[in-house]
Copies of this chain bind each other. A is one copy, B any other.
Amino acid sequence: MYASFPNRQDLTIRDEIRLSAIARNLGNFVDLDDDDRISIKPILSNSQRVPSNQILFHERSCCDHIALIEEGLACRYKTLPDGRRQILGYLIPGDLCDISFLISGVTDYGVAVLGDSRISSTPIHQFAEILQSRPNVARGVSLAGLRDTVILREWLLNIGRRNALQRLCHFFCEVSLRMHAVGQSRADGSIDLPVNQGALADTVGLTQVHLNRTLQRLRGLNLIDFHGRRLQIVDFSQLAQLAQFDDYYLGLRTRR
């Protein structure tokens, strides 16, 4: 699928899991051994394709499954009675949405699929069993869940205290690094970002029109290139500087 990957056919199952997005994701937080990786196989085994724009679950719904994004993109969101929407975060390959179902079983937010995706769904009890038998995996999953909250806090700072240009830069920096960390960037460093400008506006708390103009400013500064649902960051360090972006909060192991 991606240039740097060997052909899937040639891989053993163990290697396939090793290269899976979730193994890469958890690998950012803990060191998984082979047994750990084998243990998460059930989570990967019943995936299915989900078309763009489908709602995985609605705001204020109940959940007895834990979904994993294997390919594609999804987002958490909340809406106001008058229809205004705020996107609360993105779920990229390797992300679970949401382990808090293990505790609570209800959601305050909804999850929508953004591009055509492949998503697997695991019953809560089965998921819980894996966590119980593999403490290492459990710790990785906990830390991944914790990072979701850390990102949420950074977003609140972003939207509450940065201006339009900075917000957008910050978002692009973040999503780009996260995609890299789970092996979802292309050879040229670009990433697939199947979102329209309306969704981008709902991400950073702007209107669609103003987002469009901000995007053009960014393009004019020659910092990014965003066409055909693909994001290419031209100058990451300048982008990060403009946004006062610091990857500390992502807690990713640097492994370039």
Measured CB to CB, the residues of A under 8 A from B are 60, 76, 78, 80-82, 84-86, 88, 100, 103-104, 108-109, 139, 142-143, 146, 149-150, 152-157, 159-162, 202, 204-205, 244, 248-249
Contacts and interface: CB of A to CB of B under 8 A. Distances in A.
A46 to B, nearest CB: 27
Given A160-B205, A205-B161, A78 B153 contact: yes
Q: Is the interface of A mostly helix, strand, loop or mixed?
A: helix
Given A100-B149, A103-B143, 4 more contacts: A78-B154, A100-B146, A104-B143, A160-B202
Contact of A153 (B109, B154, B157, B202): B109
Contact of A244 (B82, B104, B139, B152): B82
A115 to B, nearest CB: 23
A152 B154 contact: no
Nearest to A103: B142
Given A156-B155, A161-B80, A108 B248 contact: yes
A86 B157 contact: yes
B78 A108 contact: no
A246 B251 CA distance: 34
A150 B78 CA distance: 11
B104 A157 contact: no
Contact of A86 (B88, B108, B156, B205): B156
A149 B150 contact: no
A166 to B, nearest CB: 9
A244 B80 contact: yes
A141 to B, nearest CB: 10
Contacts of A153: 76, 78, 88, 108-109, 152
B205 A108 contact: no
A139, A150, A153, A248 interface centre (most CB from chain B within 10 Å)? A153
A78 B157 contact: yes
Contact of A157 (B80, B100, B154, B249): B80
Nearest to A83: B161
30 contacts: A60-B248, A78-B153, A78-B154, A78-B156, A80-B161, A80-B244, A81-B244, A84-B161, A85-B161, A86-B157, A86-B160, A86-B161, A88-B157, A100-B149, A103-B139, A103-B142, A103-B143, A108-B150, A108-B154, A108-B248, A108-B249, A109-B153, A149-B149, A152-B152, A152-B153, A155-B156, A159-B160, A160-B202, A160-B204, A161-B205
